[in-house]
Amino acid sequence: MAIEIKKNGNKIFAPLIGKELICTPEEEVRQEYIIHLVNKYGYSLDQMAQEVKVNNSKRGQGKARADIVIWKTKEDRNSDNSPVIVIECKAEQITIHEEDYYQGYNYASWAGADFFVTTNLKDTKFFRVVKGKMPKKLEEVVEIPNATELFDKKKIEELLTKTKAFTRDEFSKLLFKCHNIIRNNDKLSPEAAFDEISKILFMKIRYEREQAKTKALFSRKEFEDLKSAYEKITGKDSLPFYQHFFEKTKEVFKTDEIFDPNDSIKIRETSFLQIVKELEKYNLSDTSDDIKGIAFEEFLGRTFRGELGQFFTPRTIVDYMVDVLDPEEGEIICDPCCGSGGFLIKAFEYVREKIERDVQKQKEIIKELYFGQDYEKLPEKKQEEIAKRVDDLFVKLNFELDIHNPKGRLKTLSYDCIFGTDANPRMARTAKMNMIMHGDGHGGVHHHDGLLNVNGIFDGRFDVILTNPPFGSRVNKTLKVTPSDVPNEDKIRFYEDRYGSHYRQTVVKQIQDWATYDNGHGKSRGKALLDIFDVGAWSGLTEVLFMERCLNLLKPGGRLGIVLPEGVLNNSALQKIREYIEGKAKIINITSIPQDVFIASGATVKPSLLFLKKFSEEELATYQKITEETTKEIKDKYQPKLDELKATFKKEEKKLKESRSAKDLRELKKKYAEDVRQIEDLIAAEIKPLVKERFDYPIPVIEVEKAGISSTGAPCENELEEVAVEFRAYRKKAKLWAEPRKETQYPVDDDGNISRLQLIDGNIVSEPEIFYGAYAH
């Protein structure tokens, strides 16, 4: 028989105690989870206990009490036999991070339990307990046994082996199953079928986010109940409910511009309901990122293999390029040709891991501070008080890692630091979904021509750019900037508020000027896209234009990693392009990789990975000074020759004018111009290598034979991993770019309030800030 929780203000009925208690948020979670254990799993109250004291606590472990413990039977509990499950509870608003739960895992391991559970009601994770040793990483499993299964050894073993990897594969297979439903029922192409699954995933995410408090899933039953209510109000002749539901979803994601205003669901309702039914077991807000993210990537890779393979940079290349550029917290990152979002996702995860490590380090500092050598000598009550204070500080620190906390470090990374565009609407939508599946950062991704500014993507803004632009295609000379490329007034106001008056006065004005450009003859309206780039005078190749575009987007001193056809680096026809780039940035690494790596993605040219650092203001001034001085030196060297040539020309010109031989005069002028051009070519040819010699720096050129992927797409040896380690040591020693020492401190006052303090090179750069405050409560 189901039991319910009874609330009266901050009082709550505690089932195991049988009376009302005044509860903290954490204790309230514990009582609600006990009810859940009874109702869902069939456990009885007499086989459970709360706040079970353990005896092997060590200094630095905090309070030695497990929140909830479950035994097979009441008799096992009374006889102090080993329990089956140990459960650790945290307050509902706290995001769970597994490193917080090694303490609870210690209890489970010591008690001889098979399963360890962490929960805050919104997010529950199950772990297997590895007997006899402490693992370096907790092993997450799919589920715990119910009351009946506790006595089934085979079932227990099955649950202990049904790990997260199993769940990931299961989710991936489920996505393929949904894909096949559409292809079989609605006869859509693989790409079109994927579009429809994306729409349903966005609908599911939207609904489950809105229902976070009630924890309602986007299930078939839930959908049909909503449909029934809708039809009672609107009648059956109105817009079909599943189309109406999609319209609501489009409205929620309107600012993201991922759906065309006229877009609709293009499959029949029976197919839609089948897919909703298949997906209903997963709450996409709660399912861990490394399950749904990797599963979604696998689904993408297999769905788009072939026709759209160019949108997927191989994972080993992505990992290497991010590792080489080593983005830091607070740096703003962009990919102007983001495809399916591979670089953005990796950069997001890479920086997120740094933040998580730092927060964990802060927790260790707090433990050392409060669980000192005298801790064990204190009375038990005092130990409990200290442990409670430490737990409270950990709870507050966890707000830094809550993606929904507007003041948290993870939210800042997600919302303010990750940006991308793709000109293909399907890929822009895919990148957004891919990022949501990996933990977010999708808000800065747009469907837009990557060569033009949009919203937060404009010149001089980024610290790091990672990209794999399209190869081989050319921008047509007739392609122009048009008024449709200018953001509307609502967007201008929104982004002006976010980025300041500079946005309207510079970014928007530039696009407006290009869109209304007139060539002076009344024949052209709108500037040619090629003409807004310096290199457009020499080449219309997209990869060439994107090199300049990326350098424009970077701040002085910013870093660029770009995948290019090897010809860009060694083709004599592109010499001017290389000289242009070398006049804007330092080459910090050229890595040549085997063509095999990209063959599986459909590439037909051998690629190289080029890493640049845009000149700092000081480097640019030095380069310009060297160029000016060298130019003057070489021009002075050839000036006598030019003067002599001019004098001879004037003398001959005078004679021919007297003889009135127009033809000979034309020939003379033509020869003089040719002679001058030859000398000017000599001057230019001497200036470039001399400038290079005088602005000299070493350029690491690396060639690898194995880069982790064979020509068939199968895994193979990956030399890039070792190269990345070696390069990191080299660039730190060579100080290839400025790396100020950033530090975040968390001072605690006498009342237990903790604030964030940011320092650079030991200097405080921000006032102490409370980062949990109103959001926490």
HEC letters along 640-681: HHHHHHHHHHHHHHHHHHHHCCHHHHHHHHHHHHHHHHHHHH
Q: In the structure, what pLDDT confidence band is assigned to residue 743 with cuts at 50, 70 and 90?
A: very high
Across 130-134, 466-470, 593-597, the highest mean pLDDT is recorded for: 466-470
Confidence of residue 776 (pLDDT cuts 50, 70, 90): very low
How far apart are alpha carbons 710 and 330 in whole angstroms? Answer: 36
Per-residue pLDDT band for 289 (boundaries 50, 70, 90) equals: low
Measured distance CA(188)–CA(598) in Å, rounded:
28
pLDDT band at 725 (very low <50, low <70, confident <90, very high): very high
| CA nearest to 375, candidates 60, 690, 596 | 60
Asked if 276 and 223 touch (Cβ cutoff 8 Å), the reply is yes
pTM: 0.80
Instruction: Tell me the CA distances in angstroms from 554 to 37, 206, 427, one per residue in order.
Output: 54, 34, 24
The confidence score (pLDDT) of residue 610 equals 96
Rounded Cα gap, residues 6 and 2, in angstroms: 13
DSSP state of 487: P
Tokens read off for 660: 């009135």
Burial (CB count within 10 angstroms: exposed 0-12, middle 13-18, buried 19+), residue 335: buried
CA pair distance 200, 186, nearest whole angstrom: 15
**Side chain identity, residue 267:** I
Lowest mean per-residue pLDDT among 116-125, 300-309, 518-527, 700-709: 300-309
Distance CA 286, CA 282 (A): 8
- pLDDT at residue 324, rounded to an integer: 97
b/e 572-596 (16+ beta carbons within 10 angstroms → b): eebeebbebbbebbbbbbbbbbbeb
The share of the chain scoring above pLDDT 90, in percent, equals 35
Distance CA 62, CA 383 (A): 8
Decide if 324 contacts 465 (C-beta within 8 A). Answer: no
Give me the mean pLDDT over the 283-291 stretch: 63
End-to-end CA distance of the chain: 34
pLDDT surpassing 60 at residue 61: no
Q: How confident is the model at residue 655 (pLDDT cuts 50, 70, 90)?
A: confident
Distance CA 196, CA 18 (A): 51
pLDDT by residue (tens digit) across 358-391? 998 998 899 888 888 788 888 888 888 888 888 8
- Structure tokens, 361: 């380090």
What is the mean pLDDT of the segment spanning 210-235? 82
Q: What is the mean pLDDT of residues 154-176?
A: 76
C-alpha–C-alpha distance, residues 140 and 289, integer Å:
13
Q: Are 141 and 117 in contact (CB under 8 A)?
A: no
Q: Rounded to whole angstroms, what are the CA distances from 396 to 71, 345, 445, 501?
A: 32, 27, 30, 36
User: Which has the closest alpha carbon to 444: 317, 295, 336?
Assistant: 336
Q: Over the chain, what is the mean pLDDT? A: 85
CA dihedral over 570, 576, 579, 583, signed as positive or negative: negative
pLDDT recorded at residue 299: 74
Mean pLDDT to the nearest integer, 570-576: 82
Give Cβ neighbours of residue 251 (< 8 Å, ≥ 6 apart). Answer: none
- From the number of C-beta atoms within 10 Å of its C-beta (0-12, 13-18, 19+), residue 645 rates as middle
94 pLDDT band, cuts 50/70/90, is low
pLDDT exceeds cutoff 90 at 639 = yes
Residue 286 banded pLDDT, cuts 50, 70, 90: low
Position 563 scores a pLDDT of: 94
Q: For residue 756, what are the CA distances in angstroms to 348, 397, 765, 771?
A: 22, 9, 11, 7
* Tally of residues, the chain: 777
Residue 53 or residue 85, greater confidence: 85
Question: On the CB side of 542, how many CA atoms lie within 13 Å of its CA?
Answer: 19
Q: Provide mean pLDDT across the span 3-29.
A: 70
Short-list 436, 440, 433, CA closest to 415 = 440
User: Using an 8 Å Cβ cutoff, are 144 and 69 in contact?
Assistant: no
Report the C-alpha gap between 288 and 473 in whole angstroms: 39
Of all residues in the chain, what percent are helix, strand and coil, respectively (each to 5)? 50, 15, 35
Phi, psi of 607, deg, nearest 5? -95, 160
Angle between helices 289-303 and 425-437 (to 10 degrees): 150
When mean pLDDT is compared over 1-15, 50-64, 296-310, 676-690, the highest value belongs to 676-690
Residues 6+ apart with CB under 8 A from 337: 421, 422, 423, 450, 467, 468, 469, 470, 546
Q: Are 329 and 350 contacting, i.e. CB atoms less than 8 angstroms apart?
A: no
Q: Which amino acid is at 271?
A: S
Query: Which of 127-131, 281-285, 754-758 ranks highest by mean pLDDT?
Result: 754-758
Ranked by mean pLDDT, which of 159-173, 396-410, 434-448 comes out on top? Answer: 396-410
Is residue 287 within 8 Å of 463, Cβ to Cβ? Answer: no
CB distance 701 to 592 below 8 Å: yes
| Mean pLDDT in residue range 685-706 | 91
Distance CA 543, CA 550 (A): 10
Considering only residues 709 and 690, tell me which one the structure prediction assigns the higher pLDDT. Answer: 690
Cα→Cα distances 773→123, 425, 522, Å: 22, 40, 61
How is residue 116 written in tokens?
């360890």
If pLDDT is split at 50, 70 and 90, which confidence band does 8 have?
low
